[in-house]
Structure 1
């Protein structure tokens, strides 16, 4: 017997919910905001728009489907199924947060606060889900599915990390990281820096773009669907024992950047989620490149 499709609604706690959780009551939350020159009204309104978008998304799920909700903080413990259609209700960054846990399931991004979010990855309104969900489940909407490149980091002890925007490798406290860097099997260069960024075309609008602008645009950043990555060494330090000859470049689908740790501890984390990181100790190596997994985003 074939299981009915399952709609997985992914969301995150709003600022208002975070304030209530921290301060205990709406009155205390309002007092806290007022003491810092802010009004609780705007925060409540954004919370209301998020709740309405979630309710509309839930109402659009066909009656014969299975359904569930998962909050962003619970994603590492949630088991996605092959038949899932993932509905991300929130900001663009929430799509990146969920992408690393998927394996080909289609994603529909719903903008919970139109006009406030850029809407690069959350492109739809909740009212459009009635048509989008059946098409995604039947894979009849395949021509509307945009495949976006992801980056992976694989350590020599088999730890693996996926990211939609970028992977950062460096010191957990953002102090000087020491390592040897090799590009596509070339000669390793000892380096001391603020860490290394390896990003996709999707990430080219974020952290990697900042590094790119600082360099004066030394290379063409890849498009979102291109099987290529851009990498940047942040603030490389020249010394008698460390070099700065290899500080940026592009990796194609078969290219690899290899870092061998020469610090007591480095970490690798993706899309800014430091709590979900690879732990790397002295002498370990981590390989970064284009991932076989791609995000399948409903256009």
Structure 2
């Protein structure tokens, strides 16, 4: 039997990205100063993130295997069933990794306490060692977070942790017929959002505050989703009555595409998307799989 493997998921820091673009620290400093920022602040954040990564790496037991994957490499990385995944970064990085996992537990590490919301990365870097041991031993508390799935009639599908967005790729008006709860309506809008209880702490909550303040958003581990239509346009041929609601248990939301093309993507990653043509139907519902987070 092979040794356990810890997989660290990370992304480039601001400084790394700026150096890749501008070449030298001097050029980066000049660029930042022209925009009222300083190289020192960016460097300090870079140092803190690198220190957090070093703490996490030092906490991996010596007899474990280890791997590191950058966010952009996630679609090509092969996770093993027995991996323990350690995400070091913002909450959104956990969501980016979620769609590529199949029940592997995720430990979220916040390298910049006070700057991130910390919903999905609640742990400090020095907690990694104990959490890795407890997770492998089966004694760490796990939370099964509901995910959302969109599936098209041609077999295409994708899942997301926070929300699915369906709309025009150029962010123009999307036309479709929406069917939910036995009702149907032709609509023209800037898109449809279907989110989970985890997503209810972010984008969905901001939409709900304006569009449906009385709607009870689901909890992260509840078998429920919330859906919203963004900026529906009432016209002689389109309506704006079906604008928000809940999907509980096996309930689903269906769209029939009536535009040249719509796209569906999850958790803000539009590059990883489904492309849907005129007349296609897609169904959005609770995904069969969940994300297992450690201690949150």
Same fold (TM over 0.5): yes
**Worse-superposed segment, 214-223 or 89-98:** 214-223
Counterpart residue number, 2:95: 96
| Shift of residue 140, structure 1, vs aligned partner | 2.8
State whether structure 2 residue 260 is matched by structure 1 residue 264.
Answer: yes
- Of the candidates 152, 163, 166, which is equivalent to residue 166 of structure 1? 163
TM-superposed CA distance for 1:244, in Å, is 1.7
Residues 176-225 of structure 1 show CA distances to partners (whole Å, capped at 9, x for unaligned) of 000011114x2432111110000011111211112101125131111111
**Are positions 1:25 and 2:17 aligned together?**
no
Find the aligned partners of 1:207 and 1:127 in 2 and give their Cα distance: 30
Equivalent pairs counted in the alignment come to 295
CA distance, structure 1, for counterparts of residue 213 and residue 89 of structure 2 = 31
Q: Which runs of 5+ in 1 are unaligned?
A: none
Q: Please say which of residues 44-53 and 205-214 is displaced more in the overlay.
A: 205-214
> Where in structure 2 are the equivalents of 1:1-80 lying within 5 Å?
2-80=1-79
Q: Distance in 2 between matches of 1:110 and 1:37?
A: 30
2:129 alignment counterpart: 130
TM superposition shift of 1:138: 2.7
Q: What TM-score, normalized by structure 1, do the two folds share?
A: 0.96
Distance 2:127 2:35 in 1: 39
Structure 1 position 245, deviation (Å): 2.2
Q: Secondary structure at the match of 1:153?
A: strand
Residue in structure 1 matched with residue 154 of structure 2 by the alignment: 157
Secondary structure of 1:161's aligned partner? strand
Mapped to 2, the partners of 1:17 and 1:265 lie a distance apart of 36
Q: Is 2:177–2:257's contact at 8 Å kept on the other side of the alignment?
A: yes
Residue in structure 2 matched with residue 221 of structure 1 by the alignment: 217
Question: 2 CA distance for matches of 1:218 and 1:154?
Answer: 29
| 3-state SS in 1 of match to 2:17 | helix
Q: Structure 2: which 5+ residue stretches go unaligned?
A: none
Q: What is the root-mean-square deviation in Å for CA atoms of aligned residues?
A: 1.0
Q: Tell me the alpha carbon deviations over residues 25-56 of structure 1, each in whole angstroms, 9 at most, x when there is no partner.
A: 11111111011111000000000111111111
Structure 1 counterpart SS, 2:116: coil
Structure-1 residue corresponding to 2:105: 106
